[in-house]
Every structure is written in C-alpha cells, then in structure tokens.
C-alpha cells in the first residue's frame, strides 16, 4: 500500500511541476508575442508526456490547471487562449481518436474537433482581445489558415510522439521515476 501511495505522490508532484513549467512557457509567449502560438505548441508536448507516462486523469488535471492559471495570470491572453481552446486538450483527445481503426473515422473526428476548437478560439479572442478581428474576409482567411495549421499540427504531433517513444523516453526515464 505504501508503494502505491508513493507512486501517486510522485505522479502528483511531476504533474504539478509540469503545470508550473507550462505556465512559465506560456508566459514566455506573452513576453515575446511572436512566439505565442509556438509556446502553446511546446506546452502541448508536455501534455503528451503526461498522457504517455501517467495517463488521462493526470493529463486532464494538468490541462485544466494550466488553462485556468494561464487565463488568470498571464498579462496577454493569446497564448492562454491557444492552449485552452485547442493545444492543451487536443493531445488527450488525439490519443483516444488514434485507437479507431478507420483513417476516415479518425480524420472526421479530428476535423470536427479542430473546427469546434477554432470557433471556440475565435469566440474567446473576441472576448479577451476584441480588437484582434474586425470580421469579414480577414476572419474567413484566418479560419482557413487555422484549419490548415491544425492539420499540420496533428501530423507534427504524431511525428513528435513517435520521436519521444523512439529516442527520448529511455533518456528521460520518467516512467522509472514514477514506480
């Protein structure tokens, strides 16, 4: 029983440290505004590590904690919005969706998820950063580019997950620490 509690404690500590690191990285996206999307993508890789090493429960906890803390603490909300509306939860959803056998079903679910996330992101941006979009053709163009970026992000995320398993997992050894 003590070993199980110890493993639970280690998982909580690792998750909390990764949440703190995530908020710091998102803050860097605020400090250097051209990196807001890139920093959100980097933080999503930490969610991938949590899913792989600790499971969905910890990943959802990390996502919610990072989203709330970043929306509350960050002075500029764009990186927090990118993370909250898409890049934070998508690695968790992706791990579920990848289990479906048909590529058509997988991509249909992914595209529906991406579209819902884009709409939510535009809605939050209109609330937190109202001067960002004034509607019309700019909004449609941004939406199309956002969907294209989503597809590239999904492909890149797949490659990075493969890289993590092939090259990094045995070097980082989080799974050994968590025993």
User: What are the average pLDDT values for consecutive 10-residue runs of the chain, which has 179 residues?
Assistant: 67 92 94 87 92 92 96 90 90 92 92 90 75 67 86 94 89 76
What is the pLDDT, as a whole number, of residue 4?
55
pLDDT at 20: 96
Length of the chain: 179
Q: What are the CB-based long-range contacts (under 8 Å, 24+) for 3-10?
A: 7/178, 7/179, 10/177, 10/178
Domain range for 166: 2-177
Residue 135 is predicted with a pLDDT of 61
Q: Kindly give, in sequence order, each residue whose CB lies less than 8 Å from that of residue 38, ignoring residues fewer than 6 positions away.
A: 29
Q: What's the number of domains the chain is made of?
A: 1
The residue behind tokens 């289990």 is: 99
- Which residues lie below 8 Å from residue 54, measured CB to CB, with a gap of 6+? 11, 14, 15, 178
pTM, rounded to two decimals? 0.84
């Amino acid at each position: 029983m003590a070993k199980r509690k110890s493993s639970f404690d280690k998982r909580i500590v690792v998750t909390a440290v990764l949440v703190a690191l995530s908020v710091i990285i998102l803050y860097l996206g605020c400090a250097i505004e051209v990196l807001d999307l890139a920093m959100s993508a980097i933080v999503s890789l930490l969610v991938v590590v949590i899913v792989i090493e600790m499971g969905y429960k910890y990943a959802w906890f990390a996502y919610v904690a990072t989203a709330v803390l970043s929306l509350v603490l960050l002075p500029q909300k764009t990186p927090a919005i990118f993370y909250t509306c898409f890049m934070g939860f998508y690695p968790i959803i992706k791990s579920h969706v990848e289990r479906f056998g048909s590529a058509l079903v997988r991509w249909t679910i992914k595209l529906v998820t991406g579209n819902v996330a884009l709409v939510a992101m535009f809605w939050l941006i209109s609330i937190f950063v109202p001067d960002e979009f004034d509607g019309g053709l700019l909004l449609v163009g941004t939406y199309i580019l956002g969907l294209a970026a989503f597809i590239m992000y999904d492909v890149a995320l797949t490659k990075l997950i493969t890289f993590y398993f092939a090259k990094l997992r045995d070097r980082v050894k989080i799974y050994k620490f968590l025993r």
